[in-house]
Amino acid sequence: MTAPKQASPDSGVLEQTPAMTELVAELRAIVAEELSAADTAARVGDRLRPFLERHDLLRADQREGDEQEYRQHLLHAEEDGSFSVVSLVWLPGQRTPVHDHVSWCVVGVYLGAEVETRYRLVDDGATQFLVPEQTSVNPLHSTCGFAPPGDIHEVHNDSAGKAISIHVYGADIRKLGSSVRRRYDLPVRAS
């Protein structure tokens, strides 16, 4: 699997809840400041956090998962391509491949929790491998953000229930389909 299953919008215009429209307006103002990728991610995370407690942020169909793989719902793609918002719906046991991103990214946990492992790529001249750097549980209503380089990670839902996360990317997901830049099918070593 290289990308989540897509839930395609029926038309070019995405129907948003009033809460999502409010969030998008706040994100638009931050992105317009043209800060560094790391500073943009930090500011977006701060603004996203209170919206994670709003039960009216997502429509019912934007909370639906898929039995085969985690599912992505495109919630907003800025017309100029500067940012996008998606919900990812994870059923128990679903996970991403190890990957990195094309742009800065902020993740907020809307329902449940996610387990994230971050990796460091090592190239010893003869071979490449991954070293786990940190594994953490991202609990309900928490946010985390990052910007390339150094954003290699894997995310999964190890709970018995559904998890939903809201992702904001500094890229046009409508055009790209996913924020994944590269998938890492490499051995993992302790060090």
Point out the annotated binding site: 99, 101, 153
For 32, 42, 83, 165, the CA distances from 95, given in Å and listed in that order, are 33, 25, 24, 13
* Displacement of CA 85 from its chain's centroid (Å): 9
Q: Does residue 149 have a cis bond before it (omega within 30 degrees)?
A: yes
Q: What DSSP line would sit under 149-168, residue for residue? A: SS--EEEE--SSS-EEEEEE
List binding-site positions for Fe cation.
99, 101, 153
CA–CA separation, 170 vs 144, rounded Å?
14
CA–CA separation, 15 vs 17, rounded Å?
7
